[in-house]
Structure 1
Amino acid sequence: MIWDLFFSSFLLSVVLVGIHAYFGREIVKRGIIFTDIAVAQLSGVGIALSLVLLDGRYAYFFSLLFGLSASLLIALSQRLKEYSEAFIGLLYALGFSLVVLVLSFSAHGMEELKKLTASDILFVRLEEVFKTALIYSLIGLLLYLRRHFRGLWQELSFFALFSLTLASSVKLAGVLVVFSLLVSPALVSLLLRKGLIFAWVWGSFWSFLAIALSFWLDLPTGYSLVFLQALVGLAVFIIKLIR
Structure 2
Amino acid sequence: MSALEILWPVLILAFILVGIHTIFGLEIIRRGVIFTDLAVGQIAAVGIAISSAFFEGKYQVPLSLAFALSAALLIAYASQKSRHIEAFIGLLYALGASSVMIVLSAGSEGDELFKRLMANDILFVMNDEILKAAGIYSVIALLYYFIYPKLSGFFKELFFFALLSVTVTTSVPLAGVLVVFTLLIAPALVALLQKRIKPILFGWGYGWFFVSLALVLSYHYDWPTGYSIVFVGTLITLICVLWLEKRRA
TM-score w.r.t. length of structure 2: 0.95
**Structure 2 counterpart of 1:216, one-letter code:** H
1:227 paired with 2:227, answer: no
Q: Is the 8 A contact 1:9 1:124 kept in 2?
A: yes
Q: Counterpart of 1:47 in structure 2: which amino acid?
A: I
Q: Is 1:205 the counterpart of 2:209 in the alignment?
A: yes
2:243 to 235, 239, 243: 239
C-alpha distance in 2, partners of 1:172/1:21? 17
TM-score normalised per structure 1: 0.97
Range with greater deviation from structure 2 (75-84 or 103-112) = 75-84
Aligned residues: 243
Instruction: Provide the C-alpha distance between the structure 2 equivalents of 1:117 and 1:111, rounded to a whole number of angstroms.
Output: 10
Worse-matched range after superposition: 219-228 or 191-200: 191-200
Counterpart in 1 of 2:172? 170
Shift of 1:163: 0.6
Secondary structure of the structure 2 residue equivalent to 1:82? coil
- Which stretch of structure 1 is more off in the superposition, 3-12 or 199-208? 3-12
Taking the aligned partners of 2:9 and 2:172, their CA distance within structure 1 comes to 17
Counting only pairs closer than 5 Å after superposition, residues 84-163 of structure 1 correspond to structure 2 as 84-144=85-145, 145-163=147-165
Moved over 6 A (4+): none
**Residue in 2 aligned with 1:190?**
192
Q: Report the residue type matching 1:157 in the other structure.
A: F
Match of 1:66 in 2: 67
How far does residue 198 in structure 1 lie from its aligned partner after superposition?
1.4
Where structure 2 has 5 or more consecutive residues not aligned to the other structure, the ranges are none
Partners of 2:100 and 2:90 lie apart in 1 by 16
> Deviations 1:42-69 (Å, cap 9, x if unpaired)?
0111100111111111111111111111
How far is 1:125 from its partner?
0.8
Alignment of 1:216 with 2:217, yes or no, is no
The gaps in structure 1 that reach 5 residues or longer are none
Alpha-carbon shift at residue 81 of structure 1 (Å): 4.4
Segment drifting more, 110-119 vs 126-135 = 126-135
- 2:227 maps to a residue whose letter is Y
Give the partner amino acid of 1:60.
Answer: V
Deviations 1:63-101 (A, max 9, x none): 111111111111111123431110000000110111111
Structure 1, residues 91-125: CA drift from partner, whole Å, max 9, x if none?
00110111111111111111101100000000001
Q: Which amino acid aligns with 1:162?
A: L
Matched residues in 1 for 2:206 and 2:7: separation? 19
The offset of 1:3, in angstroms, is 3.4
Per-residue CA deviations over 1:198-227 (Å, capped at 9, x if unaligned) read: 111110111001000000111001000001
Matched-pair contact (CA < 8 Å) for 2:80–2:154: no
Deviation at 1:180, TM superposition (A): 0.2
Give the match for residue 40 of structure 1: 41
Bigger Cα displacement from structure 2, 66-75 vs 1-10:
1-10
